[in-house]
Chains A and B, each alone.
Chain A
Amino acid sequence: MRHASLTRRSILKTAALGSAAAIAAPYVRGAHAAGKLTLGCWDHWVPGANNTLTKLCNEWGEKNKVEVHIDYITSQGEKDKLTAAAEAQAGTGHDIMSHRDWNIQVHHAALEPLDEVIKELIKQNGPVSPVSEYLDTVKGVWHGIPATIGSQVKPCQSRLDLYQQHCGLDLRDMFPADEAKYDKAKTDKWDWDLYLTCAEKLFKAGNPVGLPMGQTSDAVDWVGALFNSFGVVMVDDKDNIRIDSAETRQALEYLKKLMAVNPPEVYAWDDAGNNRWLISGQGAGIMNPPSAWAVAKRDNPKVAEQVWHHAMPRGPKGRFVGQLPFSYGLWKFSKNKEAAKDLLLYISQRESVRQLVAASSGYDIPAFKSMHDFDTWKTVEPPLGVVYSYPPRGDEVTSITGRPARAEVGAQIYNQAINTVMVAKFTQGNEKLDNVIRWASNELEGTLRV
């Protein structure tokens, strides 16, 4: 049997014919002629919220002839962070990933600069949240784009009836569902002293507030906001450890009183513990995004009808609310970077964001203050306007534990929950204040390691 031999001449001849055919053929653009993009996004807990992102991405994909595939990854058990760490280490994986809290900083060396995208978005929508800017930039370069999906703040979520009954406070009057009607004299009254007075009354009434003091983000975020409002700085932007201060002592002494009127199990709560506390009907208030209210609406509607989201109490240095932002990062190893940037721009447009906010019933908070005027926050019920004051309004400023330290340091302060461990040592462990501050100084010194 004779086999056809593959010679150099025959290969050249075939290649030439192929090229000629390609040039002569009419231009045909396939359904996915511009390649493929894969996204690893946070798996939203609100039913249907993922579908809106999928819809938006598919719309963009069809328009631009790019095949878009999204994997929704849960944050349960830190699976999203684990996936990001594995992809960064392996140098392969999704093109775009959504990153939680400090993860843009953690992986910035493996992430593509996205200045051109954010500049365009800022041009369209005005300034971005300072916390998002802090978390997404490294030496002035943006390595992340603020994501709407998952981004949240953790203001007060209180029971209208219990506050009225036991504390004589009308929270709806203090924080009405219209920012124009905010009365400064009334909102100024809502400070940490009044909060403590109410907490004591509610504790006596058998309906304590439930403020987590474990090592998960809900605890770290509200304690971070309180520390900020007392002026506590753990490490400044020049690597100076500043935890041993009068402000720290004042904040810890205050927390000693506040934690005494919380249920003792708050030291073991994870991020779902406070939700369950409110949903059960026993708790008078927590500090959380509207997830607890949304579950109560399904499982305990009578509780949901009495819930109101409103600003955090004001401290000597201002009113701060803990923010937990999500951002999109584009890996340097992505093979379709230009398409990815275009997709990020598309899903960050005002109209896209409006749809995403609506799909999450107002849970997701855009990083642009100019987008806090969507109807969703006005129309969600019961009661009508329940989440209106969930996005920061009035004098409320977003904060994140660890700021203003440089990001590598801040990431460790946050993830090792140094602030809540400090508080727990002082309030639960009854350790001496000086010893607690010494312990924290030692831990903070460890975070400065290069």
Chain B
Amino acid sequence: MVDAVQQTWMPGLAGERARRRGIQRLLRRRSTIAFAMCVPLIVIIAGLVAYPALYAIYLSMLNRAQTRFIGLGNFTFLLSRDVFWMVVEQAVIFTGFAVAFKALIGLITAHLINNLPVRGQRKWRGMLLVPWVIPLALSSLGWWWLFDPTHSAFNWLIAAFGGQEIPWLSDPYWARFSVILVNVWYGSPFFLIMYLAALKSVPEQLYEAAAIDGASAWQKFWHITLPMMRNIIAITVLFSLIVTFANFDIVQIMTAGGPRNMTHVFATYAFMLGIKSGDIPLGASVSLFMLPLLAIAAVFILRGVRKRGREIG
């Protein structure tokens, strides 16, 4: 009887064991586990990045009422607009100056901190990261108060020392300076932390060998530090270029694109056309305009990074 029962149950057990073995084999495959662990990220990227991006591309090819496919009509229309070309010029100035100064300030401060005694480094690192940690909308509002057109705190100080007040936000050129300044203030800590990490990874022996050969501080920097940091510099600059080109908060809060449209960048101009004026396809076209250029820049920069990586490897 017992045997009979066992015989009855044996095929089921064998099947269960085989199934478990199959799952274990599947899980033992590295690629399967890697894929499974990436699924949440893939879902998030597909839902929150890929889908909106594709939808934006689709929208940019529709007419204003979103009833008709017009191909690249929105893009060719933009090319014929004076204000759009002004926005392109401003975005390039904004991004160029902001990224250059962020990289420079990041590099200098990273070196300064790296040369501090280890105990003091942590404190400085923490303090210098504060601008990057504060929500950008909040810090932009704080800066706006400092630059307030009528009751600027900076102007109050300047006047207290007998200086002439500066039209921070009411003069278009000062307004451009102000938004770039805030972007540099906000973004420099990112460069600092990336460069500091890169500096820490440069082998000390290289500096020791250079010192034995009598190299000066500048020569050490130029021939050891900089070549060893090139990859991280390239990636950081690329990332910052993309993020700065897409900046919205600072300009929207401080100037909303004015005076005379002279501080608009792509995102604020897209917002004005798409959301405020109700032309979502044209707004989408503005926001996508830099995509091909940035993609080409990304390909070249990342190719350089890979090449240098292979050379080091």
Q: Which of A105, A263, A412, A424 contacts B150 (CB 8 A)?
A: A263
Cα of A78 to Cα of B65 in the assembled complex, Å = 21
B contact residues, total (Cβ < 8 Å): 36
Q: How far is the CB of B89 from chain A (nearest CB, A)?
A: 15
Answer whether residue A373 sits at the interface, using C-beta atoms and an 8 A cutoff. Answer: no
A85 touches B275 (CB 8 A): yes
Which stretch in B15-23, B38-46, B230-238, B256-264 binds the other chain?
Answer: B256-264
For the complex, is A411 an interface residue (Cβ under 8 Å from B)?
A: yes
Task: Check if A44 is an interface residue, CB within 8 A of chain B.
Answer: no
B272 interface neighbour in A266, A268, A416, Cβ under 8 Å: A416
Closest to A86 in B: B275
Q: A105 to B275: give the CA distance in the assembly, Å.
A: 13
Chain B residue nearest to A283 (CB atoms) is B150
What's the least CB distance linking B136 to chain A, in Å? 13
Kindly provide the distance from the CB of A391 to the nearest chain B CB, expressed in whole angstroms.
27
| Complex interface residues of chain B between 127 and 163 (CB less than 8 A to chain A) | 149-151
B83 at the interface (CB under 8 A from A): yes
- Name the residue among B64, B65, B276, B277 with the largest chain A CB count within 10 angstroms: B276
Q: Determine the chain B residues whose CB is within 8 A of the CB of A267 once the complex forms.
A: 170-171, 258-260
Kindly list chain A residues whose C-beta atoms are within 8 Å of the C-beta of B47: none
**Interface contact B151-A424, CB-CB below 8 Å:** no
Contact between chains at A109 and B65 (CB < 8 Å): yes
Chain B residues near A446 (CB-CB < 8 A): 77, 80-81
A273 at the interface (CB under 8 A from B): yes
**A425's contact among B77, B167, B169, B260, by CB below 8 Å, is which?**
B260
User: Does residue B175 face the partner (Cβ distance < 8 Å to A)?
Assistant: yes
| A89 beta carbon closer than 8 Å to chain B | yes
Q: Is the CB of A264 within 8 A of B277?
A: no
State the CA gap A424–B255 with chains docked (Å).
Answer: 15
Interface string of A94-113 (1 = CB under 8 A from B): 00000000110111010000
- Judge if B71 is at the interface, Cβ distance under 8 Å: no
> Cα distance A237–B167 when bound, in Å?
40
Contact in complex: A429, B63 (CB < 8 Å) = no
Which of the residues A216, A263, A411, A421 comes within 8 Å of B278, measured between beta carbons? A411
User: B257: which A residues are within 8 A, CB to CB?
Assistant: 215
Q: Are B258 and A268 in contact (CB under 8 A)?
A: yes
Which residue, of B65, B80, B175, B259, has the highest number of chain A Cβ atoms within 10 A?
B259
The binding surface of chain B is classed by DSSP as: loop
> Do B82 and A89 have beta carbons less than 8 Å apart?
no
**Is A269 in contact with B64, judged by CB distance below 8 angstroms?**
no
Chain A nearest CB from B187 CB (Å) reads 22
**Cβ-based interface call for A183 (8 A):** no
A401 CB, nearest partner CB in chain B, Å: 13
Judge whether A61 is part of the interface by a CB distance below 8 angstroms: no
Judge if A165 is at the interface, Cβ distance under 8 Å: no
Give complex CA distance A215, B81 in Å: 19
Chain A hits for B272, CB < 8 A: 415-416
Q: Does A184 contact B (CB under 8 A)?
A: no
B280 part of interface (Cβ distance < 8 Å) = yes
Do A214 and B259 touch across chains, with their CB atoms under 8 A apart? Answer: yes
The answer to whether A428 touches B277 (Cβ under 8 A) is: no
A179 at the interface (CB under 8 A from B): no
State how many angstroms separate the Cβ of B88 from the closest Cβ of chain A.
Answer: 15
Q: Which of A395-437 contact B (CB under 8 A)?
A: 408, 411-412, 415-416, 421, 424-425, 428-429
Q: Is A442 an interface residue (CB 8 A)?
A: yes
Q: Is A332 part of the contact surface with B, judged by Cβ < 8 Å? A: no
Partner of A408, one of B64, B150, B170: B64
By the criterion CB–CB under 8 Å, are B259 and A415 in contact?
A: no
* B277–A416 touching, CB < 8 Å: yes
Contact of A449 among B64, B261, B271, B278 (CB under 8 A): B64
Residues on B with beta carbons closer than 8 Å to the beta carbon of A411: 277-278
Residues of B within 8 A of A78 (CB): 271, 275-276
Judged by a CB distance under 8 angstroms, whether A190 is at the interface is: no
> Does the CB pair B258–A106 fall under 8 Å?
no
Query: Is A82 engaged at the interface, CB distance under 8 Å to the other chain?
Result: yes
B23-36 CB mask vs A (1 if < 8 Å, else 0) is 00000000000000
Return chain B residues, CB-CB under 8 Å to A375: none
Query: Which residues of A lie under 8 Å from residue B255 when comparing CB positions?
Result: 268
- Cα A376 to Cα B305 in complex, Å, equals 71
**CB-based contact B280/A424 at 8 Å:** no
Residue of A nearest to B150 (CB): A265
B256 to chain A, nearest CB (A): 6
**A439, CB-defined interface residue at 8 Å:** yes
For residue A107, which residues in chain B have a CB less than 8 angstroms away from its CB? Answer: 278
Complex Cα spacing A82 to B256, Å: 15
Asked if A268 contacts B259 (CB within 8 A), the reply is yes
A341 touches B (CB below 8 Å):
no
Do residues B64 and A424 form an inter-chain contact, with CB atoms below 8 A? no
* Contact pick for A273, options B149, B168, B274, CB 8 Å: B149
A-B contact pairs, 13 of them (CB 8 A): A85-B274, A102-B278, A103-B278, A214-B256, A265-B150, A265-B167, A267-B258, A276-B151, A411-B278, A428-B259, A429-B172, A442-B81, A446-B80
Closest 6 CB pairs of A and B: A106-B278, A265-B149, A268-B170, A268-B149, A268-B169, A415-B277
Residues on B facing A (Cβ under 8 Å):
63-65, 77, 80-83, 149-151, 167-172, 175, 252, 255-261, 271-280
11 more A-B contacts (CB under 8 A) besides A425-B260, A428-B259, A443-B81? A82-B275, A213-B259, A214-B258, A215-B257, A216-B256, A265-B150, A268-B169, A276-B150, A416-B272, A416-B277, A446-B77
